[in-house]
Amino acid sequence: MLADYSTGKRRWQTFQDEKSARAEAARMVARLNAADTEGAGMTGAERRDLQRATQLVAHHRVDVPTACAIFAEAADLIGHENLVAAAKAYARRAPVARTPLPVGQAILDLIKAKETRGRSARTLADLRSRLGRFAADNQGRNLSEFTTAGIQCWLDGLTGTEGKPLSALSRRNFAVVVSGLFEFHRRRGVLPDNPAKDLERETVKRSEEIEFWTPQEAGTILAAMPHEALPALVLTMFAGLRSAEVCRITWRDVNLDAGHVTVAGAEAKTGSRRLAPLPENALKWLQPVAGPPDARIFDGDPSQLARAVSDACRATGTRRIANGARHSAITYRVAMTGDVARIALESGNSPAVVHQHYRGLATETDARAFFSLRPGGGR
């Protein structure tokens, strides 16, 4: 064994035989003598700088010349003033020391945090629905495996209940929720970056004319609806509730005596409580089928309700219109009353949206025919 003091601290070197050890010792003495000759003219400050530099690099197991060579090479690439910033950026992106997090667990962690912060039932349900689909399509993957391109391909391939590509608005809503998942875990140090932040921006056209059913089409669909889904369709078609809202409320929220439906803030899309009036014909549909106070209006989710409406349209040869029931309710209410502000309040919308999309689409005559539809085809 050979004791090497050339760096200022003892370091042992091991050799197979004494001859090799003595040969290395001779070379070491020669190098030290040469260094003493070259350093004879060094000032005290220079000697202290060299000693300090030796101490700084000692735990990296490199000598000062090697450390200087590494520094010079890196500085030539990006400039010495950027070295520390570049190293920090690389450290944030390096996968070392990061524990893989499965997608399913990542979603559970996010939802638990949202619950702790008191987010609304509607927000939590939307997160579970959209992120549940994301998890189902990416089983067995860890959060760190995703790239911007991979997430974009997933969004582009999303389809609705009938196998058609989702609308730009729906894709944008999915993108917002998924990006929120990655951002949540980036801020907690699980990810170095959010791969969903650079997704393509969807252009949503809001100037397209609203489609709605004629009174005859609406009556045909109502007559073909199964018993368990009929009350939900009546509330969306004549009270203007959203499908998601009608799937959350119970019969306790439907006041048949006062003639209105209470949509609590936790159940509403806007988060604001409102009373939606029940026209006389809606009461005729609901009174014979009303359930106990704690029973849900529809024992299913919005996609199941949409499927029931689609089946009724298909069975009767009627046009299938996305959100056709709510669009019909608002369109005919505006046509019959002309009170945009009032209809906006009742439907949980803004006056600007109601004025832009629903005004001037139907006649008052058609509106009266629509709100005269009763069970059995009577008026």
Residue 18 forms part of a structural domain? yes
Q: Are residues 69 and 34 part of one domain?
A: yes
Q: Are residues 345 and 225 part of one domain?
A: yes
Residue 290 forms part of a structural domain? yes
pLDDT for position 268: 63
Among 33, 61, 93, where does a domain finish? 93
3-class DSSP assignment, residue 255? strand
Residue 195 forms part of a structural domain? no
**What is the per-residue pLDDT across 8-31, written as a single tens digit (0 to 9) for each?**
677 888 989 998 889 888 887 777
Segments forming the whole domain that contains residue 113:
103-186
Give the separation between CA 225 and CA 219, rounded to whole angstroms: 10
Structure tokens at 379: 């008026």
Contact, 342 vs 190, CB < 8 A? no
Q: Are residues 250 and 116 part of one domain?
A: no
Residue 193 forms part of a structural domain? no
Residue 370 forms part of a structural domain? yes
The CATH code of the domain that includes 331 is: 1.10.443.10
CA angle 159/161/164 to nearest 5° reads 40
Among 136, 167, 186, where does a domain finish? 186
Given phi > 0 = left and psi -120 to 50 = alpha, else beta, which region is 374? beta
Among 146, 169, 186, where does a domain finish? 186
pLDDT for position 237: 95
Contact, 235 vs 297, CB < 8 A? yes
Q: How many domains does the chain have?
A: 3
Q: Are residues 121 and 7 part of one domain?
A: no
What residue ranges of the chain have pLDDT lower than 70?
A: 6-8, 33-42, 91-98, 204-208, 266-271, 377-379
Q: Are residues 326 and 253 part of one domain?
A: yes
Q: Are residues 293 and 372 part of one domain?
A: yes
pLDDT for position 104: 94
Q: Residues 98-136, buried b or exposed e (16+ Cβ, 10 A)? A: eeebebbebbebbbeebeeeeebebeebbbeebbeebbe
Q: Are residues 130 and 37 part of one domain?
A: no
Q: Are residues 363 and 224 part of one domain?
A: yes
Question: One-letter amino acid identity for 190?
Answer: V
Q: DSSP of 150-167, one letter per residue?
A: HHHHHHHT-B-TTSPBPP
Contact, 219 vs 186, CB < 8 A? no
**What is the per-residue pLDDT across 154-179, written as a single tens digit (0 to 9) for each?**
999 998 877 788 888 889 999 999 99
Q: Give the DSSP H/E element, type plus range, for residue 11.
A: strand 11-13
pLDDT for position 29: 78
Q: Are residues 138 and 59 part of one domain?
A: no
Residue 65 forms part of a structural domain? yes
For 109, residues 6+ apart whose C-beta sits below 8 A from its C-beta are 184, 185
Contact, 103 vs 142, CB < 8 A? yes
Q: Are residues 332 and 231 part of one domain?
A: yes
The CATH code of the domain that includes 158 is: 1.10.150
Report the predicted TM-score, pTM, of the whole model to 2 decimal places: 0.53
Cα–Cα separations (whole angstroms), residue 223 to 315, 332, 371: 11, 20, 15
Cα–Cα separations (whole angstroms), residue 219 to 230, 277, 341, 372: 12, 20, 28, 10
Residue 208 forms part of a structural domain? no
3-class DSSP assignment, residue 47? helix
Contact, 368 vs 343, CB < 8 A? no
pLDDT for position 217: 95
Q: Are residues 166 and 34 part of one domain?
A: no
pLDDT for position 214: 95
Q: Are residues 126 and 84 part of one domain?
A: no
Residue 109 forms part of a structural domain? yes
Give the separation between CA 119 and CA 114, rounded to whole angstroms: 6
